[in-house]
Amino acid sequence: MFEFFKKSKKLTRVHVVGVGGIGVSRIAFYYRALGLQVTGSDLYESEITTRLRDAGVQVTIGHSEKNVPEKCNLLVFSVAIAPDNPERVTATKRKIKQLSHFQAIQQIAQGKKIIAVCGTNGKSTTTAMLGFIFERAGLDPTVFVGSLVSQWQGNIRIGKGPYFIVEADELDRQFLSLKPFGIVITNIELDHLDSFRDLRDIRDAYSSFVGLLPKDGFLVFNHDDTVTMEVVNLIKLENMSGFGRQGRSIHLLHSSVLASKQHIATKVHGVEQEFTLSIAGSHNVYNALAAIGAASSAQIPFKLIQETLEEFKGIWRRFEILGFMGKALIISDYGHHPSAVRTTLEGAREFFPGKKILLVFQPHQLQRTRALFDDFVSVLSEEAADGIILVEIFQVAGRENSAVSVSSRDLALAVSRNLPEVYYAPTLGAAEAKIRSLAPAYDLIIVMGAGDVYTVAERLVEKKHE
């Protein structure tokens, strides 16, 4: 597992820079679970830093050369941490081994069959679904998810079985550090324009990743997604499974919503099968189809897959029902891409017909908001929500371009030309105050975004959901 230490010294102490990130925190939790001494640093306190401390990780807020402990023999850094970060500079001076987030994952997963779940949307939910299916099948997988899973009490599951299931991030081409046995592609859209030139550049990164598959590996892909198919059509692999309405291996026949459940009919490798989901949205139907494809590639019986999917309750900040404020149901969601916003709102309408919906949306990152501005305006103007509060854009430390000028105020102005109830909130405090003033008129309040807006949703709850 730790090959680079075999000829030198034993791995005993790990330091993680950017440890508060939901992805890279997996490294800290993993090494700590193995009994190693783990320290870390980040710019801000968060739900994750609290959980890390509870797990015995020493977390420091702020970056300094003093944060790197004596006798540290591995430093792991997130993609947002530049080489001139003082802790990385210190590690270089002291000749401490340094690995990026996904280089560290590859080292951890060495000797196991890596199943990498990638795509613009749906990675976390699909990874969790797949982890539960493999767990139920007795395969005892190790799973690294980019969200929190209540049944695993965190974002990792450590197993002794042969499979390592990981949510793999395309940002900065991080997934190219992996050596996958299987790959699942949920969809490919324009995103992460701080590390990609355009959609073609993104597609080429996925093509390079798929090219890493061994001859006996497998690929599961969204047959209904145009860009994904551009990648797939360049690949020759024996074990390939497409899912969706055009999917030949996992063919979606139809789906409907009845009594807050999705009822899905499919044809799995030529055999008609049915299953239900208790989570909302057509995107989750596709996430389930992706999980079916990967589990089928591992020869897991459909009956077991079906039972697992029907019991799946979702994960942290993915249409997570938190509870009530008065009569209004509070939902926390991670959606931050226009297509994710659309499918989540559509799912809410299906699961809660006739209910009045207030959307509280915090865009994530300046570059994304600027590049996809027209798409956001289009989606938010579709009247899927009855009222909208647009919170100022969450700026991602280490990934922003100061030359980009855009504000949620601009979005609010553009959307207000189509919808009457659109408000701008410059701060989280202002957003919370506006929500509380509007809440009596709404049945459903969806707090959405990949930044820190989820903390507002948590503060609103007066009675937790059972």
Give, for 339, the enclosing helix (H) or strand (E): helix 338-351
Would you say 25 and 52 are in contact if contact means Cβ atoms under 8 Å apart? yes
DSSP strand pairing (113-118 vs 182-185) = parallel
Binding site annotation covers 46? no
Burial of 319 (0-12, 13-18, 19+ CB in 10 A): buried
Burial of 8 (0-12, 13-18, 19+ CB in 10 A): exposed
- How many C-beta atoms lie closer than 10 Å to residue 393's C-beta? 24
Binding site annotation covers 177? no
CA atoms within 13 A on the CB side of 411: 35
CA distance 175 to 210: 10
Q: How far apart are the first and last CA of the chain?
A: 41
Binding site annotation covers 123? yes
Binding site annotation covers 120? yes
* Dihedrals phi, psi of 46, to nearest 5 degrees: -160, 175
Best CA proximity match to 97, nearest among 29, 175, 15: 15
* Exposure string over 432-460, b if 16+ CB within 10 A, otherwise e: bebbeebbeebebbbbbbbbebbebbeeb
Binding site annotation covers 293? no
Binding site annotation covers 124? yes
CA distance 329 to 407: 28
Binding site annotation covers 408? no
- Give the residue ranges of the annotated binding site for ATP: 119-125
- Give the residue ranges of the annotated binding site: 119-125
